[in-house]
Each structure stands twice: as structure tokens, then as C-alpha cells.
Amino acid sequence: MTICAGVDSGSRATKVALLDADGGALLAAGAVDAGLKPEAVASALLDRLLAGCARRRDQVGAIVATGYARHAIGFADAAVTEITCHATGVRRVVPGAATVVEIGGQDAKLLRLAPDGTVQDFAMNDRCAAGTGRFLEVVAARLGVPLEGLGALARAATAPAAISSMCVVFAETEIIGLLAQETPPADIVAGVQKSIASRVAGMAGRRVEAPVVFTGGVALIPGMAEALAEALGTAVATAPDPQMTGALGAAILACRRARPGSGA
């Protein structure tokens, strides 16, 4: 069996996926905090997953790195943009996907896919954290709730607050003001989710082709898919294990590199 690996070294988390290059089966996948040394963190996670499959590093046919710190992964055979890897990974788990929304810790992307799964065009917001997972982290810290608890809180909202600032620093100031006005935390969280979704809708413009698939770490937060669906005016499906689609796509590309013509 030839094993191939995909490493998604993101700004907030490092993910690794292992595939069987012969049959394309997913053998193992895992995620850890990114830490300060992306190559060391990725290497340790890769070795742990290989050990779980009773395999060694010298049995890996190819490794492709993607994500924020992809060029820091020196043991990878190639570095590929996360735009290509997320598109590839999403089409593996949702074959008919036409539009991909990926929101990570530091940026947000909207990809339009051709019928064959290649990227036709894309839009990306990487200049302002107010449209990313970082904004949700700031809100959770300010409200004193765990990140994973934001979705349940938002469901209790009755009047989502208006968050207008385009910068996360100013947006946090807005939130402080809302708290001072005794705005319910549930309404603040719902307003933040609505604000992030509206930024994605702004990137999409007038044309959004269904099916729309939501991926990235922010897709794990309950309520975000519903906020996106409302902002985009169409149904939004969350990818299975959305945090892993970049690593999965990188692993698929690694299989193609190790075995040209592979259907992985």
C-alpha cells in the first residue's frame, strides 16, 4: 500500500490527512493547535497518525502542504494553495458542489467551481479579521464563553445586534458599547454571525450557484451555516468534518503526484 499525506498548516490549527494512494481510502486524519513552530507541529502529528496505521515516514509516497504556513513545511514534496486544496477536498466529500465558502482563523474565501471541480474564480478576504474565525474568538473571550458555546447562545437571540465595523478592533469596541447598553449576549453573538455572513455575501456578489458547501474551522460553530444561508439567499450545506477538507484535498493531490492518473 502506498500512503500519501496532506498537511494543512493553518493560522490556528494544523491538520493532517493520510490516504491510500491505490484505493483512495482515508486512513487517518487529525488536527492540533498550530503552535509557534509549524513544521515541528506538523511533523509530530504526521508521525503520530502514521504510527496509528502501523506505518513509517519512509513508506509515504508523497506529501503536499497547504495553508497559511505551507512554505514552512520543509519535509513536504510540494506546496499548493489552499484554494486548490479546499476545492479538491470538498469535491471529494460533496461531488456536486458548485460554490465553496471556506472561513478559517484569519481569512475567508468564496470559490466557484467548474463542472469538473476545478476553480473557475474566487474571492478572498484576508485583510480584515472581522470576517473570520478570529472575530468569533475575540467575541467569545469578551463574553466569557467557550468558542464552541457561541452557537447555542446565538439560538437564544431575539434581536441580533448590528455590527457595522469592518475592523475587528473597532468591532470589539462596538461590542463593549453594546454590553454597556445591556444588550443580551445572545443578540451580540447572533449579530456577529450575521456580520461575518454578510461579508461573505459581499464577496459573492450577485451570483451564487448551488449547491453551496461551507467548510473551514468556522463551519464547526453552530448557527454559522444558517447565517450564511440567509445572507446568500440559498441553502448552505456544511461539509463533513469541515476543518479537514484542506488537508484531504492536499492528500488527494499528493496521491496524484505519487501515482499519476490515480483516481484518489
What are the structural domains of the chain? 3-89+243-258 (3.30.420.40), 98-238 (3.30.420.40)
**pLDDT band, residue 264 (cuts 50/70/90):** low
Question: Do 208 and 233 form a contact (C-beta atoms < 8 A)?
Answer: yes
Give the SS3 label for residue 162.
coil
**How far is it, in rounded angstroms, from Cα 124 to Cα 107?**
7
Name the nearest CA neighbour of 33 among 108, 149, 137, 130.
Answer: 137
Q: Give the three-state DSSP class for 185.
A: helix
- DSSP code of 213? E
Average pLDDT value over all residues in the chain? 89
Residues 155-212 have pLDDT tens digits of 888 998 988 766 666 777 888 899 889 999 999 999 989 988 988 888 888 778 999 9
Quote the pLDDT of residue 127.
57
Question: 110 is written with which cell numbers?
Answer: 468564496
Global pTM reads 0.89
- The residues with which 236 forms a beta bridge, in sequence order, are 212
Q: What is the pLDDT of residues 89-136, one digit of tens each?
A: 999 999 999 999 999 877 889 999 999 999 999 988 755 655 677 788
Gap between the Cα atoms of 68 and 124, Å rounded: 13
Q: What is the pLDDT of residues 40-65, one digit of tens each?
A: 999 999 999 999 999 999 999 999 99
Query: Per the structure block, which three cell numbers stand in for 97?
Result: 458542489
Q: What is the pLDDT of residue 2?
A: 83
